[in-house]
Amino acid sequence: MKKTDFIAAVAEKSGLSKKDTEAVIDVALATITETLKKRENVSFLGFGAFSAVKKNEREITIPGTDRKVKVPAKYSVRFKPGKLLKEAVE
């Protein structure tokens, strides 16, 4: 499902216009992004939790060669699904 399909589905279920629904979804996603930038968690009870996790610097070997490259430390986003979401997908 693409973003436009998602917006249309939410608009239909909520009774809001597509324009209003898009604005709400854009603000919600921006808020989640800003919160993760501050290294804080975002959780939705039953749905799941987003968290910013630090990946340490590491050394990898390039496949097919013996060349080793250092990958710098960075932050990544992890999503852990909640119980209700897991059950719904099963």
* Strand partners of residue 81: 48
What whole-number distance in Å separates Cα of residue 24 and Cα of residue 1? 18
pLDDT of amino acid 76: 95
pTM across the whole model: 0.80
What whole-number distance in Å separates Cα of residue 24 and Cα of residue 27? 5
29-50: per-residue pLDDT in tens?
A: 999 999 999 999 999 999 999 9
